[in-house]
Chains A and B, each alone.
Chain A
């Protein structure tokens, strides 16, 4: 009786091991490619080797700069992301619930969705000066339409029969939002968070590059002026690492919990 179970388990484990190996080999291949290209070009100023990049990153880390600038950027992302999710979801729910509002504001949303991020940034800096508020505003404005559009579609798909039930029983709006609307919107909110976050990372760097005295984007501009490619790569890698960590340790667990909530 035990034998088939054991062999089945062994089979699964070997598949998992296989996946792990594949990822490791893929990462090593990328490194080898990088190293090969660096050796071929043979100009550390143009394309530093992985080791040189690591050394540059280590130097920044030791000076305390790397952590500081990555943290500053993450804080900006967090604030703009939270604001955009809050405002975008509210707009999305309103537009999804009211056909009239949707007709009136759909055009605005289309303009917002197609407004180049660079335009909002430049305008915000010109109107409000090179301030933190202007930077946050620029990033938030860029992300709100995306979130609103996704949440609006999710809201339109909400179960009408449940709304009829809460209507006849006169359930308070707060309770309807918390217990009926949000659980149904969880997948849309998650999709909006994903799409929004991917956008925010990239925009925040440009905003910093254009008009902030700190953050990863600012550092990249500094090293651009010094033609220090190793440091630019080091900051990029550190930033990518932070993004992946947040995805793995924050977003995915939340996603799993919401999934359980929905299935429940």
Chain B
């Protein structure tokens, strides 16, 4: 578990995008928090994750980890990023080392990929690859977990089961987690805190705490009050094109 302090993090991209993607982001994520980052497509959510992960050095501002040394990161990228010529189990063992084989098998089973240990990524569907990437991130027992839309392209029932898995994992270990999602309901179900990144301004438009999520639904009273607020804030924002939740409640504007 590790906390994180961002101060004044700003990221401009040069021409042709020539945009202030992030502008002076001040943000503290305390150890053990489960933070969801919500915002329309192209607002800089992935950019922020990449900066935190140390993959984008082109920012100004300051990032400080709380805790000793470099934290162990677990990342689910927006794309699965599995090694194409390694089977699923080998893909997992690549990041953990061979001695974690039992845990790797167990995690593959937990994301419902048992029996696919030797399958190559190209032999799996997009949703299966994504779940393998989730198992990989959990396998390293990270101090800080970053998830970039990990449940997209899963059907509603499967996404629900994966949310339960994430929730259980967090309740057992209190791993500090930063989740990017387009789905407010998903954010509400999992997080202790929801951040809304505003479109075109590159800043955090809303920052609301929630009671800690035991298994709960988005019909909880306290939660639905917060959701109501957030929906008002995000009302009229562009619906993300890649919204894949298909009729699940809680996208930016209420379905129907």
Contact = CB atoms under 8 A, between A and B. Distances in A.
Nearest to B80: A165
A7 interface: no
A206 B140 CA distance: 56
Contacts of A25: none
B75 interface: yes
Given A164-B55, A179-B86, A264-B120, A171 B81 contact: no
A264 B77 CA distance: 23
Contacts of A183: 85
Nearest to B53: A168
B93 to A, nearest CB: 9
B140 to A, nearest CB: 6
Contacts of A261: 85
B106 interface: no
B73 A169 contact: yes
A256 interface: no
Given A161-B81, A162-B83, A179-B86, A167 B94 contact: no
A3 interface: no
Contacts of B74: 169
B243 to A, nearest CB: 24
The range of chain A's interface size is 10 to 19
A175 interface: yes
B75 A169 contact: yes
Contacts of B77: 161, 164-165
A87 B95 CA distance: 28
Nearest to A175: B94
A167 B81 CA distance: 12
B75 A168 contact: yes
A169 B137 CA distance: 8
A236 B140 CA distance: 59
Nearest to B137: A169
B79 interface: yes
A161 B53 CA distance: 13
Nearest to B73: A168
Interface in A112-146: none
A264 B84 CA distance: 8
A165 B70 CA distance: 16
A189 to B, nearest CB: 15
Contacts of B53: 168
Contact of A167 (B54, B85, B90): B54
Contacts of A168: 53-55, 73, 75
Contact of A165 (B72, B81, B120): B81
26 contacts: A161-B79, A161-B81, A162-B81, A164-B55, A164-B77, A164-B81, A165-B75, A165-B77, A165-B81, A166-B94, A168-B53, A168-B54, A168-B55, A168-B73, A168-B75, A169-B73, A169-B75, A169-B94, A170-B73, A171-B94, A171-B95, A179-B86, A179-B94, A183-B85, A262-B85, A264-B120
9 smallest CB-CB distances across A and B, nearest first, come from: A169-B95, A165-B81, A168-B75, A168-B53, A183-B85, A168-B73, A164-B55, A264-B85, A161-B81
Given A162-B83, A168-B75, A180-B83, 13 more contacts: A164-B77, A165-B75, A166-B95, A167-B55, A169-B74, A169-B94, A169-B95, A169-B136, A170-B73, A171-B95, A261-B85, A262-B85, A264-B85
